[in-house]
Amino acid sequence: MSAAKTGNRWPLILGHRGYRKLYPENTELAFQKAFEFGADGIEFDVQKTGDGEYVIFHDYEIERLTGQKGNIKEFSRRKHVSFISGGEEGIPNLREYLEKAPRDKFYNMELKEETLTVDDCDAIYSIVADLEIRKNIMVSSFRHDLLPCFRKRGFDIGLLLDRRDSKNVFINLFIRMYKMKPRYLNLPVDLFGRLPGFLNFLILKTFRFLGYKIVFWTVNRRSDYLKIYRYSDVIITDDVEKMLSLREQYR
């Protein structure tokens, strides 16, 4: 399943780190609830622990989510059975989760630049290469040199552009598109307002005309959805139910 294969011009709705608004982010519970409430897929993050394990976790510093000081490089998942604050949800191992993930959903796997290098790409590829959901995975990263390994081996890749790039957002993006040849362009929703409105929409229409798929993150407000849904193939949100309701309302 991919945005390109749905035959539907309306965007796929992905839960940002699962159903993050209501459940602990990047946990199996958050993923399960996103699917139960109707999400077409999920976005999740991959970090590497101190003992070399690839896990689904967002932050480099772990205190926000675990209540413990330190960073993910100093952490060994297998020494902490219940690690997320509250004690009920553990940090998922990448392969263990993907082996049992639903096959009919779309997955945006973001590789985190804090702990991953190009040397990790072969190992991560070997984890996902033989999975049944391989065809449903889009690999993205702010660190763009992590992506060619996957594109050359048949994965769809998404160029993530950060708000830090917003001053020259489209110039940077065109340069990277030419170099990387992605299938997806993953854009922050707040890039709107950086240029006059008609230029934003003209550029997005050009991207779509050239065959690129457009992903917007993180879309949580009705006003933002209404600005971008006509130009979106994928919308990433913390509030799954709200975005699904808006998609139904504005078909």
Q: Is residue 2 part of a domain?
A: no
Q: Is residue 1 part of a domain?
A: no
For the record, the structure tokens of 227 come out as 């600005």
- Residue range(s) defining the domain that contains residue 218: 12-249
Q: Is residue 212 part of a domain?
A: yes
Per-residue confidence (pLDDT) for residue 9, from 0 to 100: 53
What's the pLDDT tens digit per position in 225-251?
A: 999 999 999 999 999 999 999 999 998
Dihedral sign for Cα atoms in the order 222, 242, 105, 217: positive
Measure the CA–CA gap between 214 and 234, rounded to whole angstroms.
Answer: 6
CA angle 216, 206, 144 (to 5 degrees): 50
DSSP 37: T
What's the pLDDT tens digit per position in 92-128?
A: 999 999 999 999 999 999 999 999 999 999 999 999 9
- Summarize the confidence of residues 141-166 as an average pLDDT: 89
User: Given pLDDT bands bounded at 50, 70 and 90, which one contains residue 7?
Assistant: very low
3-class SS of residue 166: helix
Q: Is residue 152 part of a domain?
A: yes
The number of domains in the chain is 1
**Is-contact 248 38, C-beta < 8 A?**
no
Per-residue confidence (pLDDT) for residue 77, from 0 to 100: 67
What's the pLDDT tens digit per position in 155-191?
A: 999 999 876 655 566 677 778 888 889 999 999 998 7
DSSP 220: -
- 189 compared with 35, residue with greater pLDDT: 35
Per-residue confidence (pLDDT) for residue 174, from 0 to 100: 79
User: CATH no. for residue 158?
Assistant: 3.20.20.190
